[in-house]
Amino acid sequence: MDNENCLNDVVHPLSKKIEIIQWILLSILIFLVPMIIPKLLNTIFGVNSWIATHSQYVVGTIVNTVLITTAINVKGFKQIAGLITLPSISAIGSGLIFKSASIYTVYMIPAIWIGNFLFVYLYKKLFVQKNLNYFLTSVISILVKVLIIYSFFRVLALILNIPNVMFIALNLSMGINQLITAIIASIIGFGINLTYKNIKNENL
* Residues 74-117: tens digit of each pLDDT: 999 999 999 999 888 877 766 554 555 557 778 888 999 999 99
**What dihedral do alpha carbons 86, 73, 8, 137 form, nearest 10°?**
90
Q: For the range 82-86, what are the long-range contacts, defined as Cβ-Cβ under 8 Å and sequence gap of 24 or more?
A: 82/23, 82/27, 83/23, 83/26, 83/27, 83/30, 84/113, 84/116, 84/117, 84/120, 85/113, 85/116, 86/27, 86/30, 86/31
**Phi and psi dihedrals of 21, rounded to 5?**
-60, -45
Q: What is the pTM of this model?
A: 0.90
Continuous segment of H or E residues that includes residue 102: helix 102-105
Average of per-residue pLDDT values in the chain: 88
* Residues 113-155: tens digit of each pLDDT: 999 999 999 999 999 999 999 999 999 999 999 999 999 999 9
Dihedral sign from CA coordinates of 166, 167, 168, 171? positive
- Residues with Cβ within 8 Å of 152's Cβ and at least 6 positions away in sequence, in order, are 108, 110, 111, 174
Residue 35, pLDDT > 60, answer yes
Q: Provide the pLDDT for residue 203.
A: 63
Q: Provide the pLDDT for residue 74.
A: 95
DSSP 8-state secondary structure symbol assigned to residue 126: I
pLDDT-wise least confident of 27-31, 33-37, 134-138 = 33-37
